[in-house]
Amino acid sequence: MDRQAWLITLVSAIFFVAAGPVWADEPQFTLVIKDHRFDPAELQVPAGVKVRLVVKNEDSTPEEFESSELHREKVVPPGQQILVIVGPLDAGSYGFFGDFHQDTAQGKLIAK
Amino acid sequence: MIGYAIVVFREVLEAALIVGIVLAASKGTPGRGRWVSGGIALGVLGACVVAGFAAEIAQAVEGMGQELFNAAILFAAVGMLGWHNVWMGRHGKEMAMEATALGREVAAGARPLYALASVVGIAVLREGSETVLFLYGLAAAGSGGAIDMLGGGTIGVLCGAVVGAGLYLGLLRIPSRHLFAVTSWMILLLAAGLASQGAFFLNQADVLPALGNQIWDTSWLLDEDSVPGRVLHVLIGYVARPEGIQLVFWATTIVILLSLMRWFSTAPKRAVVRAAVIVSLASAGLVLAHAARADFTIHPPIVEYQEFEVEHNGSYTFDSNPANKHNETGTLELGYGFLPWWGSEVEFAWSRTASDPPRRLDEINWENTFQLADQGEYWLDPGIFAEVGKSARVGNTDHVEIGPTLQKQWGNTVHTMNLFFEHLFGPDNGEKSVNFNYAWQSLWTWKREFQPGFEIFGDVGPIDRAPGIRDQQLRIGPVAYGKIDIAPGLGELKYGLGYLLGLTHGTEKGALKWNLEWELVF
């Protein structure tokens, strides 16, 4: 078999696989950033499954959603929303904060 | 103003430390100041661009643009740092001869300063973009005027630069003959830390699993956000609450870079480096006069779907012929079962012969296993194995190897057969030749942890002008395999061990073969 045929096969295979993962219906929750605070400040999510968090920034300046317990660090531009996928989480409480306004932007994710 | 200063200092610190290490590592090379300054300037420019496009980047690639962008530039930096270390390993001796004109010429002309400058640029861009966004937010909110921002920002940058300079001057105190080794190690650890950060972002992008959300929590001992914590974070990749995947990438980067540095090193081997490489997954190599490598691996027609594996295979041959006395081969493979019927692996293969002692990377192969039917669906389990290999040695050939793989389970025994055809490409291959090799394995599935049996490996050579059986390679011998669970979520370890006796004149008297695999399903 010649090299070209191989190359075509391999590239097709790569494209096939890269078609993108299909995210099943994972539970989705929304966090709103307003006046440099999170709303809700405490959010309950199911434990043991992947959870989609939509973080909406309704302020006019950027914020960074960050949590060392959740291992997440992502900038939310003003007026935009971002997607943060967490989990599967063990039951417990996980703190998160807004890195750009740490004094007011604090919250907790409670996994049950 | 203090608020601005503190924020800027925190972000600048990481970049400043990297600049300090890079400057120390490139000491003695003329023009490095210009390269590093260029890197910083481009990094600052890039940071502003990235900050400006933050919204677009965040929404890209189904909302994971930020993560993928960060991971990409971090791994690019890892590559650059690795390249620098490998390059230094090859030319370190010449570099040390600073006193001679030749040494200076080599230093001036050949050093990959662009690699170091890129690393500096990437570090500045990463930290800078966050800083720009933060400062923009503060400014837009009107907390303090332009003077506060400029003043605070400048103070922050200066403080960060002071720490970086401190590291640089501290490193310069090390005598020249040791500086090379010290900065190589620092760059190695820096690269491992960046790789671990890259893994963090790939996990955030839902591309990699966490493999354990928090292997340990040392935030009580040293908080990652404190100044000493950040310093350690940059220098060695310290993470207070690491995910398992971060540790895997940290360790794997060190293993891979150390191995690459050692393979290409022309310097006399140091006992410490040697011990580190042996302790790592890398193993001895072998160069055979034979164009095709003697790899004693059986490929089953089974794909382990969604299973990630790191594998090492090795062999050590014995012969009475002094030229063939002790030959070694080794491989390191990383693989994943992407689809239920397709699994893929990247393999680095090296070798070493008695006549050519240094370990050399022979080839990099891409192996694919195709499972054509469910196990037990037909009387024989059919599969196809296809491998493309790129030679890493001058004058040696690239190859494509393909063939059917068959397996049959019979009571508590399992039998596997491989029939492979190998086509060699290369400048020395005037006559296109197709080589044929075959292998057989029979195992008694007595216990999961211990399955004994035997294997046969034969290599006919070129089909159209095959030598008689006497000059072909043929081996047979006892083997044993086993699987051990490590811990839930941490995968399993597979081992294999065997001794193959050479049956023909064209085969070495004996060969010890082994393999070790770590597998994880996710």
DSSP secondary structure of chain A: --HHHHHHHHHHHHHHHTT--------EEEEEEETTEEESSEEEE-TTS-EEEEEEE-SSS-EEEEETTTTEEEEE-TT-EEEEEE----SEEEEEEEGGGTTT-EEEEEE-
Using one digit for the tens of pLDDT, what is the confidence trace for A2-18? Answer: 666 666 667 665 654 44
**Whole-angstrom distance, CA of residue B503 vs CA of residue B464:** 23
Question: pLDDT 10s per residue in chain B (522 long)?
Answer: 787 788 788 888 989 999 999 888 888 777 888 888 999 999 999 999 998 888 888 888 888 888 999 999 999 999 999 988 888 777 766 655 554 555 455 455 556 788 888 999 999 998 888 888 887 777 776 666 778 788 888 899 999 999 999 999 998 888 877 887 888 889 999 999 999 999 999 999 988 888 778 888 888 899 888 888 989 999 999 999 988 889 888 888 888 888 788 777 665 555 444 444 443 333 222 222 233 456 799 999 999 998 999 999 999 888 877 766 778 899 999 999 998 899 999 999 988 887 777 778 888 999 999 999 888 888 899 999 999 998 887 767 788 999 999 999 998 999 999 999 998 876 655 556 788 999 999 999 998 999 999 999 999 888 877 788 888 889 999 999 999 988 887 889 999 999 999 888 888 888 999 999 999 887
pLDDT of residue B289: 27
B115: part of which helix (H) or strand (E)?
Answer: helix B113-140
Number of CB pairs, chain A paired with chain B, less than 8 A apart:
80
HSE-CB at B313 with a 13 A cutoff on CA atoms is: 19
CA distance B412 to B375: 15
| ipTM here | 0.73
Nearest C-alpha in B relative to A70: B213
| CA B332 vs CA B251, B282, B311, B352: distances in Å | 14, 7, 6, 15
Q: How far apart are the first and last CA of chain A?
A: 56
* Smallest Cα distance from B133 to chain A, Å: 7
> Residue B79 class from Cβ within 10 Å (0-12 exposed, 13-18 middle, 19+ buried)?
middle
DSSP state of B29: -
B500 CA: distance to closest CA in chain A (Å) = 32
Taking the C-alpha atoms of residue B33 and residue B123, their distance in angstroms, rounded to an integer, is 17
Q: What is the pTM of this model?
A: 0.57
Residue B335 CA to residue B82 CA, distance in Å, equals 22
Longest dimension (CA), chain A: 65
Q: Is the dihedral of CA B304, B306, B309, B313 positive or negative?
A: positive
Q: What is the pLDDT of residue B284?
A: 28
- Across B340-469, the runs of DSSP E, i.e. the strands, are 342-352, 360-371, 381-391, 398-410, 413-425, 434-444, 451-462
> Chain A interface residues facing chain B, Cβ-Cβ under 8 Å?
1, 3, 6, 10, 13, 17, 20-21, 50, 60-64, 68-69, 71-78, 80, 82-85, 89-90, 99-100
Q: Which of B394, B403, B393, B392 is nearest to B369 (CA)?
A: B403
Of B136, B203, B241, the CB nearest to A69: B241
Chain B residues with CB inside 8 Å of A75's CB?
A: 54, 58, 66, 130, 133
For residue B324, the model assigns a pLDDT of 66
The dihedral region occupied by B334, where left means phi > 0, alpha psi between -120 and 50, and beta the remainder, is beta
Instruction: Using DSSP, state whether B302 is helix, strand or coil.
Output: coil
Q: Give the type of residue at B503.
A: L
Per-residue pLDDT tens digits of chain A, which is 112 residues long? 566 666 666 766 565 444 444 445 689 999 999 999 999 999 999 998 889 999 999 998 889 999 988 989 898 988 989 999 998 888 999 999 998 888 899 999 999 8
Q: What is the phi-psi region of residue B237: left when phi exceeds 0, alpha when psi lies from -120 to 50, beta otherwise?
A: left
Q: How far is CA B87 from CA B25, B184, B271, B421, in A?
A: 12, 11, 20, 37
> Which chain B residues are within 8 Å of A3, Cβ to Cβ?
400, 425
